[in-house]
């Protein structure tokens, strides 16, 4: 009977030590899972804002957002910001697209003058990639 109790106590103690020995690894895995969940939530939010921007472009409601501040507040920060010359004028160009679709995705380009006022916009529809094989 004493041996049985001793064996049970030893097993319980060993299981507890095993958990403690792997605590750092378990906490790291939890941290990774939490950050992946946060990234997925951020991607979904970015995609939703892009859908709203594309709808505003298609409906003409983009005219209601005349400044960089209004657009950033309503549709979030652009994926890319660059300077570009178009029709002999310099513009700050903002690119919006889906968060994880890079090449064949719909895109929106917004062109701002030097004072940050929206001047032009462009919606570029994504292309389907060709399927290879049967």
In a domain, 102, yes or no: yes
In a domain, 130, yes or no: no
Looking at residue 29, what DSSP letter applies? H
Tell me the β-bridge partners of 120.
111
- The CA distance from 70 to 97, in Å, is 18
Q: What is the mean pLDDT of residues 121-134?
A: 66
Q: What are phi and psi of 113, to 5 degrees?
A: -80, -175
- The CA distance from 40 to 110, in Å, is 26
In a domain, 22, yes or no: no
In a domain, 132, yes or no: no
Q: What's the number of domains the chain is made of?
A: 1
pLDDT band at 13 (very low <50, low <70, confident <90, very high): low
pLDDT band at 133 (very low <50, low <70, confident <90, very high): very low
In a domain, 11, yes or no: no
> How high is the pLDDT of residue 16?
56
> Domain with 39 in it: what CATH number?
3.30.1450
- The CA distance from 95 to 112, in Å, is 12
Domain housing 37: 27-124
Higher-confidence residue of 11 and 41: namely: 41
In a domain, 90, yes or no: yes
What is the torsional sign of CA 48, 109, 93, 117?
A: negative
CA distances from 62 to 55, 76, 115 (A): 9, 14, 18
Higher-confidence residue of 88 and 10: namely: 88
In a domain, 12, yes or no: no
In a domain, 119, yes or no: yes
Q: pLDDT (tens digit, 9 = 90+) per residue, 65-112?
A: 999 999 999 999 999 999 998 888 899 999 999 988 878 889 999 999
């Amino acid at each position: 009977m004493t041996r049985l109790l001793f064996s049970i106590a030893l097993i319980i103690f060993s299981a507890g030590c095993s958990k403690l020995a792997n605590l750092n690894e378990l906490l790291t895995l939890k941290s990774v899972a939490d950050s992946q969940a946060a990234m997925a939530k951020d991607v979904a939010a970015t995609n939703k804002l892009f859908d709203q921007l594309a709808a505003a472009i298609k409906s003409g409601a983009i005219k209601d957002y005349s400044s960089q501040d209004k657009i950033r507040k309503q549709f979030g920060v652009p994926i890319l910001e660059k300077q570009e010359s178009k029709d002999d004028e310099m513009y700050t160009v903002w690119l919006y697209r889906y968060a994880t679709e890079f090449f064949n995705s719909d895109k929106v380009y917004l062109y701002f003058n030097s004072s940050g006022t929206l001047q032009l916009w462009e919606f570029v529809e994504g292309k389907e990639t060709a399927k290879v094989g049967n």
